[in-house]
Structure 1
Amino acid sequence: MGEVAGTASVRRRGGEIVSSVLVALGCVLFLGGSAWGALQYRPYTVPTDSMAPTVAAGERVLAQRIDGDRVRRGDVVVFTDPQWGDLPMVKRVVAVGGDEVDCCDARGRLTVNGQAVEEPYLSGGGPASTGGFRAQVPDGRLFLLGDSREVSLDSRVHLADGTDGAVPRSGVRARVDATAWPPAGLRTVPRPEGFAQLPGGVSRPGPLVPLLWAVGTGALLILGGAAYGPIARRVGRGPAS
């Protein structure tokens, strides 16, 4: 009987150790991932349909905090600019400093430095603009358009004001990586391939997906570890004599 009791005691202690390790590892992943995510990302609510269908009015997005000098063509960014009302706005970068942006070619496409850009994300499938325009983007500035070109008030409107229509890179606050609310609309915002062949290519995805995996895995380990301890103790006691 003493040997059986000793074996059961070892099993209980082993189960408690495994449980503690799982919970501790889960806490590291969950809390570390949550803290890092809070430093990297900020939520924004999009008030209009100017970026539909990529982001609809009322949806909440997760945007990675970045400097404007990291922005590339195709990025969906959150920015502020006094000439645009000095409130956070969400638009897509279609041209950067030094680019000549023109619209539209014979197929209704935007061209950047003479190269046509396919934009499958456009509301209704296009065209790239409801009216023609051409602009030379000054160095250090970004030309921004909404994905719903028929309703978006963007760089085209400011061209009509007699300015270059662009905003300074310093006005960028973040780059949108995903929509987070409502839950049914949870999805990442991909980098468009249409800009990939232009100099500089497109930006790389942010760390959102690995962070979500870390947080989710951590939560599962915490729950699993917490459940494993009582189960191991029960099994270790064995059948009542």
Structure 2
Amino acid sequence: MDTEAQHPERDPSSDTEEGSRSARVSEAPAPRRDPGHTTAPEPGRDPAPEPHRRAPSWRRTALVGGACVAFLLLLSHFVMQPFLIPSGSMEPTLQVGDRILVNKLAYRFGSEPRRGDVVVFDGTGSFVREEPEVNPVSGLLRGAGAALGLAEPAETDFVKRVVGTGGDRVVCCDKNGRITVNGVPVEERYVMFGDQPSSVAFDIVVPPGRLWVMGDHRSQSSDSRDHLGNPGGGMVPVEKVVGRAGWIVWPFGRWSALPATEAYDAVPAPTAGGHGAGAHG
């Protein structure tokens, strides 16, 4: 009698099917997560923080642009102002359409304009009797444009060369047609070629704190000579000077510093009483 236990026989095909089923289960890919689908956070866990939203690009651009304009306006008001040359009264030194930088700090710390300096000044009360009335809004926009060198300057702003300072005696002209300052003839090589130093005769003494100014293109310049009969006699108060023209910055082909002139190096200081020396004959 066979005493060994009889093991039930298994169908080989069932083993194959179970193995295949196991393999299929183990090889099945993980379910894909929908990126737009949000699942509830697990209990006990804080929800993931939402990403920080950036401001729209146009808003950032506007803020940066506004900050740049504000900085330029402050710089223009206190330190350095662009100035558009609207006329040919300072040719050949400055040409129509030139943009210059005016150094507003040049006369802020005790220094005063010197003979030969090219200056920008407010002509109200000397070249212009009173400031013309303008629409407040248009005036503000034009002022901002002028401060950035994008628009013509105000009608009261002028650019000229200082010929005489307080106490100087300025005379036109000696027998050779030259202007004299404190009795010394001035060789004005910056004057427009073909122009006379002046077609108008004058003999004036500049009061203290004032300036006698003229354009380099004498035949095309309305300057101190044209206001001799006006209150102030065409003299510009020093406190009305905006600054000294220092550089031509536009167009690029004319980029340069305004050269200093030696024309007045030999001119002596005015004598006591401000009468200067007699004009050379």
Q: TM-score, normalised by structure 2?
A: 0.55
Which position in structure 1 is the counterpart of 2:210?
141
Distance 1:134 1:62 in 2: 33
Q: How does 1:215-226 map to 2 (within 5 A)?
A: none
- Tell me the CA shift for residue 162 of structure 1: 6.4
Q: Residue 55 of structure 1 aligns with which residue?
A: 94
1:78, 1:176 within 8 Å by CA — same for their partners in 2? yes
Partner of 2:222: 153
Q: Which ranges of structure 1 fall in alignment gaps of 5 or more residues?
A: 1-33, 201-241
Q: Give the deviation of 1:79 after TM superposition.
A: 0.2
Equivalence map 1:142-221=2 (5 Å): 142-161=211-230, 163-199=232-268
Q: Which has the larger radius of gyration?
A: 2
Question: Contact conserved, 2:195 with 2:219, CA < 8 A, in 1?
Answer: no
> Unaligned stretches of 5+ in structure 2?
1-70, 132-155, 270-281
* Greater RCO (CA < 8 Å, at least 6 residues apart): 1
Distance 1:88 1:96, change over 3 A: same
How far apart in 2 are the matches of 1:153 and 1:77?
A: 15
User: Match of 2:171, SS?
Assistant: strand
**3-state SS, counterpart of residue 195 of structure 1:** coil
3-state SS, counterpart of residue 228 of structure 2: helix
Match for residue 114 of structure 2 among 60, 67, 72: 72
Superposition deviation, residue 104 in structure 1: 1.2
Cα deviation, residue 195, structure 1 = 0.8
Runs of 4+ in 1 over 6 A off after TM superposition: none
Output the CA distance in 1 between the equivalents of 2:159 and 2:267.
23
Residue 128 of structure 1 is matched in structure 2 by 197
The code of the aligned residue for 1:93 comes to V
Distance of 2:177 and 2:239 partners within structure 1: 31
- Cα offset for 1:125? 4.9
1:165 shift after superposition: 1.7
Structure 2 residue matching 1:170: 3-state secondary structure: helix
Secondary structure of 1:98's aligned partner: coil
**Deviation, structure 1 residue 41:** 2.0
| C-alpha deviation, 1:127, in angstroms | 2.0
Greater share of residues in helix: 1
Aligned equivalents of 2:91 and 2:123: distance in 1?
22
In 2, the alpha carbon distance for the partners of 1:141 and 1:125 equals: 29
Change (3 A) 1:62 1:50: same
Identity in percent: 40
SS in 1 for 2:115: coil
TM-score (norm 1): 0.64
Q: Give the C-alpha shift of residue 123 in structure 1.
A: 0.5
Q: 1:47: how far off?
A: 0.8
Q: Secondary structure at the match of 1:108?
A: coil
Q: Contact (CA 8 Å) 2:182, 2:268: kept in 1 or not?
A: no
Contact 1:136-1:164 within 8 A present in 2 as well: no
Q: Would you say the 8 A contact 1:117–1:194 is kept in 2? A: yes
Cα distance in 1 between the residues matched to 2:237 and 2:183: 23
